[in-house]
Amino acid sequence: MLKMKGFFKKIIFFLCFISFSCRDSSELSNIDFTQYIDSNNLRIFGKEDVSSDFLNKVAQSYDAMLGEDQNIDQSMRSKYLQTSKDEHVYQRVGLEESFSKNEKYAHNSKVPRPYKHNCTDFIWQENKGGPRQINEVIEHLLHTVTNVILNLSYPNDWGYMNSSSRLRQATQEAIDKGVYDVSDYDEIKGDKEGYNKIITQEYAYWLILAEWNYFVISGNKQDGMTGNGEFTLGTSQEIEEQLPLGHELYVDYIEKILTEPDKKLIESLFK
């Protein structure tokens, strides 16, 4: 157990006794999750080669998403937090360099019980900070928020397999209006569950990113538009004006449970 000073959280280490210096790429598939940190009822597991400093910064980013704000509905937030705890939701963090050398690095995803299936993507620690690293952290934390915790907390509105859910309807609104281009995911259309999961979690990420006006600091703004080729709207004003179903979903849930993390804080964490 390592106690961190100041605002740093407590990181728990287990089975951490193997040196990486002697490992070749074929051995990377054997690297386990050997540390974790808790933030707001979310357990964040780190692979053995992830730095404890980076794991702390991921936790601080999630803390920032759950700060206090005048729009917070405390009963909704309490339900969200309790669901995360009761359903043993967790976030995985790995080292991008290790994954790039051997993709089986991500296949070894065993975590201690009672944690099982309530997770989604990895967050990758990259070799430098900046907009790309900010995007990596914010995007995949939000995937966990929307695709896992909100889906479990409010399945009627956030269920990605429910064609009448507000999430599915808002996603379709953005597609129909030419705001959200899902053509990159055509190759997985044969997997109905996988397809619906991917297009809705990506939509929810873009929606929240735009509502937070985060496209610039996360490196997602392309020249000549506020958004990018996949999601063309990058500001909260545009979302409110052009995607009413999406904006209402944001106001009714995200704005009442999460807070927009301070941009200066996030940039300082991943500079």
* Residue 6 is assigned to a structural domain of this protein: no
* Residue 3 is assigned to a structural domain of this protein: no
What string of DSSP letters covers the chain? -BPPPTT---EEE-S----STT--GGGGGGPPEEEEEEETTEEEEEETTS-HHHHHHHHHHHHHHT---TT--HHHHHHHHHHHHHTT-EEEEEEHHHHHH-GGGGT-----TT--S---PEEEE-SS-SHHHHHHHHHHHHHIIIIIIIHHH-HHHH-TT-TTSHHHHHHHHHHHTTSB--GGGGGGTTSHHHHHHHHHHHHHHHHHHHHTT-TTTTT-PPTTSSS-SSB---SHHHHHHH-HHHHHHIIIIIHHH--PPPHHHHHHHT-
* Residue 1 is assigned to a structural domain of this protein: no
Taking only the tens place, the pLDDT of each residue in 35-78 is: 999 999 999 999 999 999 999 999 999 999 999 999 999 999 99
- Counted domains in the chain: 1
Single pTM value for the model = 0.90
Q: What is the pLDDT of residue 224?
A: 96
* Residue 94 is assigned to a structural domain of this protein: yes
Taking only the tens place, the pLDDT of each residue in 203-254 is: 999 999 999 999 999 999 999 999 999 999 999 999 999 999 999 999 999 9
* Residue 4 is assigned to a structural domain of this protein: no
Q: Which domain holds residue 36?
A: 11-269
